[in-house]
Structure 1
Amino acid sequence: MDAVRLIGTSRRALAGSRRVPEIMTEVWQAQALAQAIGSRLAVFGPPELRGEALGLTELAGRGCGVLDTPVLADGDLRAAQLTELGDARQALMSLGSLLGEVGIALVGMASASDDEGTYWQCMEAIDAADESRDRVLEMLRRLADREHVLPEREAG
């Protein structure tokens, strides 16, 4: 399945989650998907994105690591369903939106949590999602710079 479609599925699942365990599972799924997309971009993406893509893979992996790994049925891990990136720019724009929504969901959970362990888990996951989103935004900036430079070269 392509990245944009998987991200859309994750966004809908996160938006439909109401209880803490469901939200935590969707946050973990989003970070695992970000890790898979980063890995794909690091290997197959434009050369100017590879360093940032490796950083995204690392940060998203940290985002998964600070959360309890959810118990998923066979075939429910969205990151494992990633077969193609499609348009890198579109995938990164969608991923940036998803990571922003993850941060918002985590802030809501942290604010409402009576459990100190859940609170700190949310805080660490917020940092990881925010840093992952920063990497995504940097890759989008680099793509925009590349698109700006290419027309100049073609005109010259």
Structure 2
Amino acid sequence: MDAMRLIGATRHALAQAGTVQDIVAEAWQAHALAEAIGGHLTVYGPVPARAEARGLGEAGSRARAALYHPALRHPAVRSGCIRAVQLSEVHDLRRTLIALAELLGDAGIALVGVASGTEEEALYWSCVESIDAADECRDRVRGILRHLEVRERGGAA
């Protein structure tokens, strides 16, 4: 499935999430998608951007791992319904990266709400760690976009 469709589905699900459990689960899905897109671009992306893509995948993995909280795992995640595993193509790389950055920003904002509203210290720190790793994902996305700009201008990256 194209990355843009997966990003759209995840943005919609995050916007509809009403409980802490649902918000955390959808942020987890967003980070899994960052990891998957990073992995895809590491193999199929522009050669000069592959190191940034690898970093994107690793940061997505850390962001996702930080949200592991057994009491909060969403039934869809427990049953293996992970949207990111459906990623098969990235048609419009620039548009996909911009949309991914927006999704990660939305997930971060949602996690700030969870962190500020919880009295459970472990959940608070899980959200903070995940937000931090997601910020690194966004930095990596910006790096890939810079490589694309250089390539489009005909320069070396």
* TM-score higher than 0.5: yes
Please tell me whether residue 115 in structure 1 is matched to residue 133 in structure 2. Answer: no
Q: In 2, Cα distance between the equivalents of 1:137 and 1:131? A: 10
Quote the residue 1:137 is aligned against: 142
Q: In 2, Cα distance between the equivalents of 1:126 and 1:64? A: 10
Q: In 2, Cα distance between the equivalents of 1:66 and 1:18? A: 21
Q: In 2, Cα distance between the equivalents of 1:113 and 1:149? A: 50
Give the superposition deviation at 1:137: 1.0
Quote the residue 2:56 is aligned against: 56
Quote the residue 2:88 is aligned against: 83
Give the superposition deviation at 1:113: 1.1
CA displacement 1:109-138 (0-9 Å, x = unmatched): 111111111111110011011111110011
Percent identity over the alignment is: 51
Q: Tell me how large the CA RMSD over aligned residues is.
A: 1.4
Quote the residue 2:6 is aligned against: 6
Q: In 1, Cα distance between the equivalents of 2:85 and 2:16? A: 21
Supply the AA of the counterpart residue of 1:117.
A
CA displacement 1:35-80 (0-9 Å, x = unmatched): 0000000000111110000001111011111112634265621011
Quote the residue 2:34 is aligned against: 34
Q: 4+ residue stretches of structure 1 with deviation over 4 A?
A: none
Structure 2 CA distance for partners of 1:61 and 1:75, relative to 1, 3 Å: closer
Give the superposition deviation at 1:87: 1.4
Quote the residue 1:99 is aligned against: 104
Q: In 2, Cα distance between the equivalents of 1:21 and 1:74? A: 15
Which TM-score applies when normalising by structure 2? 0.90
Structure 2 CA distance for partners of 1:115 and 1:9, relative to 1, 3 Å: same
Which TM-score applies when normalising by structure 1? 0.91
Segments of 5+ residues of structure 1 without an aligned counterpart are 151-156
- Greater Cα radius of gyration, structure 1 or 2: 1
